[in-house]
Structure formats: structure tokens, C-alpha cells
Amino acid sequence: MREIQNSPIGIFDSGVGGLTVLRELYRQLPQESILYFADTARLPYGNRPSGEILQFVREILTWMAQQNVKMVIMACNTSSALALEAVRQEFDFPILGVILPGAKAAVKQGQRIGVISTPATAKSNAYRQAIQEIDPNAQVWQIPCPEFVPLIEQNRIWEPYTKQMAQLYLQPLLARNIDTLVYGCTHYRHLETVIKGIVPPTVNLIDPARYVVQAAEKELKLMALGQTRPALPTRFAVSGCPQTFSQLSQQWLGYHPTVESVSLPTMVTAAVTWEEVEMLE
Ligand code: DGL
């Protein structure tokens, strides 16, 4: 029987955004085996109602539990903002989200904090709440950027249109004289070159991916869950087209990953109760 320490860490996102967390895992925890799931058949998440996201997250975590993961990192801000609290107690492995580690890192760097995110994350107010709980004097401006995820998933990062959209989204934050900018969606780090071309170099850029992996390392130590054998190759699975994901990912991974297609266990019967939907809205 395989000991739990040598089970993989599960990470998931709607698409290629989670690769920014995967890269941090490779950098900070190279000894760990990883299972990566992308819900590409249902992407983007960021325009969806919270009840739907909660249901998707439950389906993904149920599948991850069947794969015997020892921990899950939600490599998705939208899921972390809308579903983490609800699902944390429902599974018997630790589940980490990106919002709190990102918020903690942001308040260490500045007081005038801009957050770019999906519309669902901005609407949830999760970053403002997390930041102001740590530092009530910090000012927070959240800007929804609905076009970014589709542009990244369509591999249109280098088109002039993407730069124009970035200018449009960032302009109100620059007008507020922010000193810190949080990538409040894991996809956005893929736009770093475009964003750095617009934001002055004095603005601190915070990628929560880096800090959630630091938190994961602490948690693994605390629970004595660190891997004891050499890491296995990362296993990739998607709900949509495996070839599309493999081709798109290559630019960030440096290799063509082998990608499996999976259909998630669908939770047909009232996976989300009306009370939960009301609580989330
Ligand atoms: N990358 C995800 C996030 O961090 C989801 C983006 C989406 O599918 O809209 O929010």
C-alpha cells in the first residue's frame, strides 16, 4: 500500500491559469508529485454564478479524493473566493486557497492595493475583506477583467488588442496611484510582460501563487505529509480537449504534456442548497 506522504498534491483551475501555481510548486517543492486538473469544458469560471462554481468545485474535489490526493491547492482565485469556506470541512485532506496568502503578501508590500481579477472574484469582495482584516488601514481597489481569461486561453497574449484591454483595465488603478498590484486570477501572471509594460516599476507585483506554495510547504511539514520518495511525473487531466490543453501549455512548461480526458462525477441531486446560494450571493 502507498503511504499517504507519497500521494500527489492535487491542484486545479478552469484552464491554464493553474500552471502559474504548478511552476511555483516545481520551483519550491520539486520533490512533490502533482496531479493537475483543468476544467476546460466549463471555462471560464469568472462569469458564472457562485452556486455553479461551488458545485463544480465539489465535483472536482470528489474526483481528486478518488485519486487519493494528500492535499489540494485551489489554483484558482474564483474557486478560492466563492467555494473554499464551504468545502473545507467536507473532505478529509487539507485544502488551500490563493486569496489569503495573496492578501498577506500584499499588505507586507503596500497600503494602496489594486487587485485585478475575474468579475466573480471582484464581486465577492474576497480580497478587500482578507486584506482589510489584516490591515484595516489598507486601501483596496478591485477591477474585474472579463476579457483576460478568454484571450489567454485563445493564445492571444501578444496581440495589440490584449495590450489595449490591459491598459483599459489598469488605468483606473494607476489613476489611484496604487503602490501594489495583486494578480487576483492565476491566469494573469501569463500576462506579466504586457502588464509590466504598462505599470510603473515602482509598483509591487504580487503573485499569490508564490505564497500559496509557501503555505503548502508549511502545512506539509506540520502534518508530516512531505514526500519521502522521488516525485512522479506530473499527471495532467482535463474535462475538455486534451490536445488543445497540451498545445497551449507547452509555452509555459517547456514540454508537451501528456493529458488525459476525464469526466467528472456529476452531482445531479441538489449539490448546492438554496441556503448556500443565498449565503454566497
Ligand atoms: N484562473 C482562475 C482564477 O484564478 C479562473 C479564471 C476563469 O476561468 O475565469 O480565477
Q: 148 CA distance to ligand 1 centroid (A)? A: 10
Residue 272 pLDDT level (bands cut at 50, 70, 90): low
Give the ligand 1 atom nearest the CA of 18. 1
Instruction: Domain 2-98+210-280: give its CATH code.
Output: 3.40.50.1860
pLDDT of 77 above 60: yes
How is 79-121 classified by DSSP, letter by letter? HHHHTHHHHGGGSSS-EE-SHHHHHHHHHHH-SEEEEEE-HHH
Q: Which residues contact 270 (CB under 8 A, 6 or more apart)?
A: none
pLDDT of 61 above 90: yes
Give the ligand 1 atom nearest the CA of 43. 8
Substitution site in 19, 127, 185 for ligand 1 pocket (most atoms within 8 Å of beta carbon): 185
Closest of 74, 89, 85 to residue 215, by C-alpha? 74
What is the model's pLDDT at position 3?
Answer: 86
Encode pLDDT of 109-154 as tens digits.
999 999 999 999 999 999 999 999 999 999 999 999 999 999 999 9
Give the ligand 1 atom nearest the CA of 45. 8
List the chain domain ranges. 2-98+210-280, 99-207
Architecture field, domain 99-207: 3-Layer(aba) Sandwich (3.40)
Q: 75 CA distance to ligand 1 centroid (A)? A: 9
Instruction: Give Rg (Cα) of the chain.
Output: 18
Determine how β-strand 112-117 pairs with β-strand 71-74.
unpaired
Residues in contact with ligand 1 by the CB-under-6-Å rule are 13-14, 17, 43-46, 76-78, 118, 121, 149, 185-187
Substitution site in 19, 187, 239 for ligand 1 pocket (most atoms within 8 Å of beta carbon): 187
Encode pLDDT of 190-226 as tens digits.
999 999 999 999 999 999 999 999 999 999 999 999 9
Look up 185 and say whether it is catalytic. yes
Nearest-CA residue for ligand 1 atom 9 is 46
Provide the 8-state DSSP code for 190: G
Q: 118 CA distance to ligand 1 centroid (A)? A: 6
pLDDT (average), residues 159-188: 98
pLDDT (average), residues 69-75: 98
Q: 3 CA distance to ligand 1 centroid (A)? A: 33
Encode pLDDT of 227-268 as tens digits.
999 999 999 999 999 999 999 999 999 999 999 999 987 754
Give the ligand 1 atom nearest the CA of 117. 10
Closest of 106, 79, 118 to residue 179, by C-alpha? 106
The catalytically annotated residue of 53, 57, 106, 185 is: 185
What is the model's pLDDT at position 270?
Answer: 43
